[in-house]
Amino acid sequence: MDLYHIWCDLKPGVRDTTFVDAIDKYLGNLRDGGLIETFRVTRRKLGLGAPGLGEFHIWIETRDMAQLDAAFTRVSSRADPVEGFHHGVNSLVENTVFALYRDFPDPHRQHGEERF
């Protein structure tokens, strides 16, 4: 699995439930279209978290880079309905940070032949 992470803060005056509803519409649309496997939203607890990362953390899981690329292709088309859902989230957040991780070790990884 590839794990696309997004950390963000809400813009002043944005309700947390409004944000979660917008995420559900946007990422639910991508999931229902087979462009991502699943997603979840988490929120910082007790003020604990790495400096520079937002209060909210969105996890998006894809089978592989091909599925993630297909999701990016759909979103970058800037066509409705996904454009409206995307804007519905982006207009609510600030201080956004992104990261991409993968399960490790890779399922195809061979052991014992490494040369470093």
- What is the per-residue pLDDT across 41-52, written as a single tens digit (0 to 9) for each? 999 999 899 999
User: What's the pTM value of the predicted model, to 2 decimals?
Assistant: 0.90
User: Is 18 a member of any domain?
Assistant: yes
On the question of pLDDT at 11 being above 90, the answer is yes
| Domain around 65 | 2-102
Q: What is the CATH number of the domain that holds 49?
A: 3.30.70.100
User: Is 31 a member of any domain?
Assistant: yes
User: Is 32 a member of any domain?
Assistant: yes
Show the tokens assigned to 17.
């439930």
Confidence band for 114, pLDDT divided at 50, 70 and 90: confident
47/24 Cα distance (integer angstroms): 24
Looking at every residue in the chain, the average pLDDT score rounds to: 95
Beta strands in 11-86 (DSSP E): 38-43, 56-62
Q: In what order do the strands lie in the sheet with 2-10?
A: 38-43, 56-62, 2-10, 93-102
Neighbours of 2 (CB within 10 A): 18
The domain total for the chain is 1
